[in-house]
Chain A
Amino acid sequence: MKEIDSITTTVSEPDPETGLPIEREAIAPDPEQSAGCREVRWDAERGKYVGIEA
């Protein structure tokens, strides 16, 4: 297992009520650090993502 940082980006996605695109902040594991991992999970205790390497 390895710890992976989170990154915050802005994404555009359909609003669940109107279906119209809205901009929203998104928090996700750093894709570069996630490379080579078959699963990545948020670990609230560590405050970090944890990756399971293939």
Chain B
Amino acid sequence: MASTPMGGTFNRSVTVPAYTWANRPASASVGSIIRATDLNNALMMWNGTGWAPVGGGVVLACSGATGMTVTGTTSKTTLATVVVPGGMMGADGTIEVLAEYSFTGTAGGKRITYEVGGSIFFDNTASTSIVTKRAFTSLRNKGSVSTQSGPSIAVYSADNTGGIYSLAVNTENNFSIAFNVTLVNAADSATLLGYTVRLVR
């Protein structure tokens, strides 16, 4: 409670209607806000055509969990997956993905890929002597809820010789981002130290 200039008091708190994302209202008055209980309690505002994050962004996942390590195999190994709920991106939304890695051993390179349904949108191989890596990229809808493209390597200001990714993920449905590592030599190891997945629109 807080005092007013007239000497009275009022309650400053506001209760925002709460929904699971799947059960959100199909439409609302422009400017209406809901709380998505299963999306880290993200506040989403109706912009006339869809629910967009208040302030332009929302963190979907953020983890520094231990134990996300691969060794002893040269198979492509998924160390983590994060689900992006359907209908969050709209036609012009972007998913930003940031992750950090550490490596041991110098027997071979360590290939890192980010994928949706087996389609790669980030692809970079750490050479044998590299011991840490920070990898940032984005998955951007290009004027359609089901068209994405962009550089397949995008480590801050790094130049790109790796080509262009082109995906056709229908982002109106749930989809999963996979953090994959492939060791060239099974004696080495790679650890996913942490990741952040953020929606911007």
Check B188 for interface membership: any CB of A closer than 8 A: no
Contact of A28 among B67, B78, B120 (CB under 8 A): B78
Check A24 for interface membership: any CB of B closer than 8 A: yes
Stretch at the interface among B10-18, B24-32, B43-51, B79-87: B79-87
Tell me what chain B mostly uses at the interface: helix, strand, loop, or mixed: strand
Q: How many B residues are at the interface, by size bracket? A: 20 to 34
**Which residues on the B side are within 8 Å of A42 (C-beta)?**
67-70, 77-80, 192
Q: List 15 A-B contacts (CB under 8 A).
A: A11-B118, A14-B120, A14-B123, A16-B125, A24-B182, A25-B74, A27-B77, A28-B78, A29-B78, A39-B61, A41-B68, A41-B79, A42-B79, A43-B65, A46-B67
**Given A34-B81, A39-B83, A45 and B76 contact (CB-CB distance below 8 Å):** no
**Which residues on the B side are within 8 Å of A24 (C-beta)?**
75-76, 182
Asked if B80 and A16 make an inter-chain contact with CB atoms under 8 angstroms apart, the answer reads no
**Which residues on the A side are within 8 Å of B145 (C-beta)?**
none
Nearest CB in chain A to that of B123: its residue = A16
Chain A residues within 8 Å of B, Cβ to Cβ = 8, 11, 13-14, 16, 19, 24-29, 34, 37-46, 54
A32 to chain B, nearest CB (A): 13
Chain B residues within 8 Å of A, Cβ to Cβ = 38, 61, 63, 65, 67-70, 73-83, 111, 113, 118, 120, 123, 125, 163, 178, 180, 182, 192
**Given A39-B61, A41-B67, A42-B69, A26 and B81 contact (CB-CB distance below 8 Å):** no
Asked if B120 and A13 make an inter-chain contact with CB atoms under 8 angstroms apart, the answer reads yes
**Which residues on the A side are within 8 Å of B75 (C-beta)?**
8, 24-27
| Docked pose: A45 CA to B113 CA in angstroms | 23
Asked if B67 and A45 make an inter-chain contact with CB atoms under 8 angstroms apart, the answer reads yes
Asked if B78 and A11 make an inter-chain contact with CB atoms under 8 angstroms apart, the answer reads no
| Docked pose: A11 CA to B82 CA in angstroms | 20
**Which residues on the A side are within 8 Å of B163 (C-beta)?**
19
Asked if B76 and A27 make an inter-chain contact with CB atoms under 8 angstroms apart, the answer reads yes
Asked if B78 and A27 make an inter-chain contact with CB atoms under 8 angstroms apart, the answer reads yes
